[in-house]
A and B are shown apart, each in its own frame.
Chain A
Amino acid sequence: MPNALRKPWVGIALIAAVLVVAPLAVGASLGNAWVRVLDFAALYVMLALGLNIVVGFAGLLDLGYIAFYAVGAYLYALLCSPHFGIHWPVWAVLPLGALVAGIFGVLLGAPTLRLRGDYLAIVTLGFGEIIRIFLNNLNTPVNITNGPQGIARIDPITLFGQPLSRPLEFLGVGFSGVMLYYYLFVVLALGIVFVGIRLQDSRIGRAWVAIREDEVAAKACGINTRNVKLLAFAMGASFGGISGGLFAGFQEFVSPESFSLLESVMVLCMVVLGGMGHIPGVILGGLLLTVLPEIFRQGAGPLQQALFGTVVLDPEALRMLLFGLALIAVMLYRPAGLWPEPRHRSEYKQ
């Protein structure tokens, strides 16, 4: 590698350039549908980074994480839609979503403090389902969530008077709505990356990892494991709440269907496949698991048509099959994830 590439600012500038140009390039070559995929990739990266705090740092297996995404999304939907006739500005709703989701994180964490591993996983799974079922049924006797129909006509996210759903012409370049959302999501995702990195390398982050490594020893070292675990749940949940709010504004529609167990499992897969506890790995996991299935979904049909003259396997089924195979392969050959923490390397550097 040439020396210039080793300087950190060169890498940062390269990444920034790629992030800025990506939606324009993708939009021009592949169309806006693929920019939309990038939007979702950014959302899932945020989710995966939030779950990484709980699962990766603190070692608390959470199978109901999508519930916090749901809390954030429904909060946005209720406060920015004709459903109740409330139209709050986004800068008020998103932080509130983070806060409320954080409170839900503590609500989930408090009764599960003594549980670990499988037992914790079962309880969190139940929690995720409870939230979804509540959203499904809270339309009677008082209609709060509008039940299975979901909430429609949600306000798009509006920044500086510009609704991000509308195209914008800026410096002679045309930006479609999905591109504008892309920039917002990427900025927020970078913010979450920043917070994650800062937390990891801090007194709190060390306490989380200590609990993951050996809870009894962590207690004996004077760590108040109850508070520190609740903090992990709250932090992770608040990231989920923010991305949920963004999701609601982006889709302009939410329904309980979007928050199924499969979604929790997908986010967990991003964390585990990428490399638990390693932020770059988790980002990679989030990107791969959003973009690759989309490539298969769109590519598998035409490819089969070209090869066999007909579609032999339903692309949707094929997608899940390949996903399952990929999971098994990674767990067999790279059990620590695709890009795990380079712990061992630091040992030889000295």
Chain B
Amino acid sequence: MTVLLEARRVSKHFGGVQALKDVSLSINAGEIYGLIGPNGAGKTTFFNVLTGLYRRDGGEVVFGGTPLRLSSPHQVAQAGIARTFQNIRLFANMTALENVMVGRHLRTRAGVIGAVVRGRGTRAEEAAIRTRAQQLLHYVGIGDSANRVARHLSYGDQRRLEIARALATDPKLLALDEPAAGMNATETAALKTLIEGLRADGLTVLLIEHDVRLVMGLCDRVAVLDYGEKIAEDIPANVQQDPTVIGAYLGGAA
């Protein structure tokens, strides 16, 4: 099995707070990898470091065999890592379709002159963007809402739209930050089916989640963070039994 992403001793601190301390983990191509931990354990910080929103203080990340330098978010996206956000961040006043079309920005070229002249190449590219965006909306199951403004979509559909927008960047690794947060049981079940479908289509998924049942049912492997340190990494069944993990969640000195 090939390793898609390898983080080695990644550290990040904010002032005196050590948010991440020498976190090392490796994600295999084609798996669903869960990242769990109590509130404030550093899961989202890890995401932000990984996707270039935060600058890491130490350590390195190797993605698809090449090291990711301390780079800006758009370069990370270029390399093939797409993400969603814990508190949904859509382009609220754009339609669902436009949101996904923005996601194609990275893989298209038209500039100012192309836009003004609108020659054959630009028109073809624009049509391709539109078609692909529409396909992706169908793929995540909100094809009928293409022309609705993003902020008017239901909560669950907004989550799906964010996934469609991330998929539009043609990622190799999709990083989902608590996609099931605030969802009811039906929506969560549908989300599970969607993520399984993503894996079946060859995508690697990194998942932060609080819903333990979803994580255990979905993930091939799980890492547990606590106070910025990785305390376990294994298949879900073993992690569940791990006394350190139980201690971290229940607050005991295990």
- Taking CB as reference atom, which chain A residue is nearest B51? A220
Task: Find residues 72-120 in chain B having any chain A CB closer than 8 Å to their own CB.
Answer: 72-74, 77-78, 82-83, 85, 89-95, 98, 101-106, 108, 110-112, 114-116, 118
B165 to chain A, nearest CB (A): 6
Known: A222-B77, A223-B102. A343 touches B85 (CB 8 A): no
Q: What is the interface size of chain A, counting residues whose CB is below 8 A from a CB of the partner?
A: 32
B106 pairs with A198, CB closer than 8 A: no
Task: Find residues 157-203 in chain A having any chain B CB closer than 8 Å to their own CB.
Answer: 194-195, 198-199, 202-203
Whether a CB of chain A sits under 8 angstroms from the CB of B152 is: yes
A223 pairs with B118, CB closer than 8 A: no
Which single member of A214, A223, A350 contacts B147 (CB below 8 Å)? Answer: A350
Whether a CB of chain B sits under 8 angstroms from the CB of A209 is: yes
Whether a CB of chain B sits under 8 angstroms from the CB of A217 is: yes
What chain B residues lie within 8 Å of A116 (beta carbons)?
A: none
A347 pairs with B105, CB closer than 8 A: no
Whether a CB of chain B sits under 8 angstroms from the CB of A346 is: yes
Task: Find residues 206-224 in chain A having any chain B CB closer than 8 Å to their own CB.
Answer: 206-207, 209-210, 213-214, 216-224
The docked-state distance in angstroms from the alpha carbon of A60 to that of B51 is: 25
A219 to chain B, nearest CB (A): 4
Task: Find residues 99-151 in chain B having any chain A CB closer than 8 Å to their own CB.
Answer: 101-106, 108, 110-112, 114-116, 118, 122, 125-126, 129, 147-149
B92 pairs with A204, CB closer than 8 A: no
The docked-state distance in angstroms from the alpha carbon of A344 to that of B101 is: 19
Whether a CB of chain A sits under 8 angstroms from the CB of B45 is: no
Whether a CB of chain B sits under 8 angstroms from the CB of A42 is: no
What chain B residues lie within 8 Å of A136 (beta carbons)?
A: none
The docked-state distance in angstroms from the alpha carbon of A194 to that of B82 is: 35
The docked-state distance in angstroms from the alpha carbon of A220 to that of B88 is: 13
What chain B residues lie within 8 Å of A218 (beta carbons)?
A: 91, 102
Whether a CB of chain A sits under 8 angstroms from the CB of B158 is: no
Annotate A310-350 by CB proximity to B: 1 below 8 A, 0 otherwise: 00000000000000000000000000000000011011011
Task: Find residues 163-221 in chain B having any chain A CB closer than 8 Å to their own CB.
Answer: 165-166, 168-169
Whether a CB of chain B sits under 8 angstroms from the CB of A205 is: yes
A220 pairs with B77, CB closer than 8 A: yes
B94 pairs with A213, CB closer than 8 A: yes
Q: Which residues of A contact B (CB under 8 A)?
A: 194-195, 198-199, 202-207, 209-210, 213-214, 216-225, 231, 235, 343-344, 346-347, 349-350
* 15 further interface pairs, Cβ-Cβ under 8 Å (given A202-B122, A213-B90): A199-B115, A202-B114, A202-B118, A204-B110, A206-B94, A206-B102, A206-B105, A207-B105, A209-B94, A216-B73, A219-B74, A221-B166, A222-B77, A222-B106, A231-B112
Identify 21 residue pairs between A and B in the complex whose beta-carbon atoms are under 8 Å apart, listed by A's number: A199-B112, A202-B114, A203-B104, A203-B108, A203-B110, A206-B102, A210-B91, A214-B92, A216-B85, A217-B91, A219-B52, A220-B166, A221-B103, A221-B106, A221-B166, A222-B106, A231-B112, A235-B112, A344-B149, A346-B95, A347-B149
